[in-house]
Amino acid sequence: MAYLPLQDNGCTNFVDQFGNCAPTHELQSDHPAIGAGDCSGIPVIPGQTTQPPVDIVSEDQRGQARVQCDAGSFESTAVSMEGPPGTANEVAPLDLIASQTPDYLWESVVSSPATSYYFLWIENENGVVYNRWYTAADVSCPVAGPSTVCSINPGYAVGGDLSFYIQAYNGYTGPGGGYGAWSSGMSFTNGSPANPGRPSLLSPIGSGVGADTDYTWNYLADATWYQLWVQDDAGTYAYRWYTSAQLGCSSPGSLCTTSGLPTPHTTGFSGVNRHWYVRAYNGTGGNDLYGIWSYGETYTP
């Protein structure tokens, strides 16, 4: 009976999380064909089989006599199935919803190493309004096993025309690292006013700044209030709230400034640096919609 030379198992019956060919064994070139295993199938990810049974042949492509099949300890080497996680698929919320604080659902990502974290990103027409890492346990997703649905309710009110995205992480240290690709996104709306976006800080920045400096940042659509936060190197902080009218930034193109207004009291702060941040708030119609904090800036009085 004639047989074709044995080859690496290729894509006979295993496809990885990206839908690609995922060979699980490769033939060695420096060992004789002895001590073959039974090739009955070796599970790498629960519920999936990697190496299918292989027919007995008399000789492999190296001219070595064959005993049984292609997965013997001296005849083949397991190919690592480790890699970055795949892409999550969103489930909900979708289209028009009633809640400002919905549950966010997506399909878990099965990977090796097991997916250990998920990053939730929510944005509206003004930009990002919420983002945070969650452990697999936080979102009720198993770290191993077949795919299931992950779920989290951040308890954070959102409004406007919204979309959310998911990124998975599994700690893989090989090429590409442990971060999966971003999901394609899912859009929804609840008919509420929108959360403001992220402020861009303009001044003060750098050294030689007066102790009683004014603070300036950009106007944001849908912002009715702004919170200014200042802290020292040790974490001692002070903050103050202002309306957009007080800051003179109620229309596009205007700048928000504390000129002529009281600022957070920094008396008693230690260290040489002051770090400041701003976030916006939309209270239109009795809503309670916060924007995300700005990136910080630093100055030295």
Quick check: 89 pLDDT over 70?
yes
User: For 90-189, which CATH class?
Assistant: mainly beta
User: For 201-300, which CATH class?
Assistant: mainly beta
106-115 confidence digits (pLDDT tens): 999 988 888 9
Task: Please report the DSSP string for the chain in residue order.
Answer: ---PPP---TTSS-B-TTSSB---EEE-SSS-S-S-------BSSTT-B-S------SB-TTSPBPSS-S--TTTEEEPP---------EEE--EE-S-SS--EEEE----SSPP-EEEEEEEETTEEEEEEEEETTTTT--SSSS--EEEE-------SEEEEEEEEE----STTTTBPPPP--EEEE-SPPPPP----EEE--EES--TT---EEE--TT-SEEEEEEEETT--EEEEEEEHHHHT--STT-EEE-TTS-----TT--SS-EEEEEEEEE-GGG--EEPPPPPPEEEE-
Q: Which residue has the higher pLDDT, 174 or 11?
A: 174
Tokens standing for residue 148 = 């299931």
- Reported as a pLDDT band with limits 50, 70 and 90, residue 144 is low
Of the candidate ranges 14-18, 94-98, 142-146, 206-210, the one whose mean pLDDT is the lowest:
14-18
Q: How far apart are the first and last CA of the chain?
A: 89
pLDDT at 146: 67
Tokens standing for residue 39 = 């090739």
176-212 confidence digits (pLDDT tens): 889 999 999 999 999 999 999 999 999 999 988 877 8
Amino acid at 296: G
Measured between alpha carbons, how far is residue 253 from residues 189, 260, 275 in Å? 27, 20, 25
Question: Do 252 and 219 form a contact (C-beta atoms < 8 A)?
Answer: yes
* CA 217 – CA 277 distance, rounded (Å): 10
Q: How many whole angstroms from its chain centre is CA 4? A: 46
Question: Do 240 and 265 form a contact (C-beta atoms < 8 A)?
Answer: no
pLDDT at 110: 87
Question: Do 99 and 190 form a contact (C-beta atoms < 8 A)?
Answer: yes
Quick check: 168 pLDDT over 50?
yes
pLDDT at 154: 96
Q: Do domains 90-189 and 201-300 have the same CATH topology?
A: yes
**Average pLDDT of 144-154?**
85
- Reported as a pLDDT band with limits 50, 70 and 90, residue 299 is very high
For the chain, the domains span 1-81, 90-189, 201-300
Question: Do 199 and 218 form a contact (C-beta atoms < 8 A)?
Answer: yes
